[in-house]
Amino acid sequence: MSHMRINPISKEAVIMSENRLKRPTDFSSDKTENDKISFKKDCPFCIEDQNSSRIKIYEDQISYGVKVVENKYPIVLKKEEAESNVYGFHYVVIEGRDHSKSFYELSREHIGEIIKAYICVSKNIYRNEFIKYVQVFKNHGKNAGASLRHSHSQIIGMNVMPEKIKTEVENSSKYYKDNKTCAFCDLLKDEIKSKERIVYEGKEFIAICPYVSKHRYEIQIIKKKHSSTIFTLNEFEINDLSDVLKIVTNKLHSVLGKDISYNIYYNFLKEEKVKYYHFYIEICPRIVNGAGFEISTGIMVNTILPEIAAKKLREANN
Q: Which amino acid is at 194?
A: S
Given a contact cutoff of 8 angstroms between Cβ atoms, the answer to whether 238 and 221 are in contact is no
Separation of alpha carbons 196 and 110, rounded Å = 31
Q: Is 182 annotated as a binding residue?
A: no
Given a contact cutoff of 8 angstroms between Cβ atoms, the answer to whether 111 and 103 are in contact is yes
Q: Is 99 annotated as a binding residue?
A: yes
- Count of residues in the chain: 318
DSSP-assigned states of every residue in 77-90: --TTT--SS--EEE
Exactly one of 90, 110, 152, 278 is catalytic; name it.
152
- Give alpha helix (H) positions in 213-278: 235-256
Q: Does the annotation mark 278 as catalytic?
A: no
5 in helix, strand or coil?
A: strand
Start-to-end CA distance of the chain, whole Å, equals: 44
Separation of alpha carbons 295 and 213, rounded Å = 17
Separation of alpha carbons 112 and 119, rounded Å = 11
Q: Is 150 annotated as a binding residue?
A: yes
Q: Is 140 annotated as a binding residue?
A: no
- Give me the residues paired with residue 92 across strands: 69, 154
Separation of alpha carbons 173 and 273, rounded Å = 11
Separation of alpha carbons 48 and 63, rounded Å = 14
Q: Which residues are annotated as a binding site?
A: 43, 46, 99, 150
- The set of catalytic residues is 152
Q: Which residues are annotated as a binding site for Zn(2+)?
A: 43, 46, 99, 150
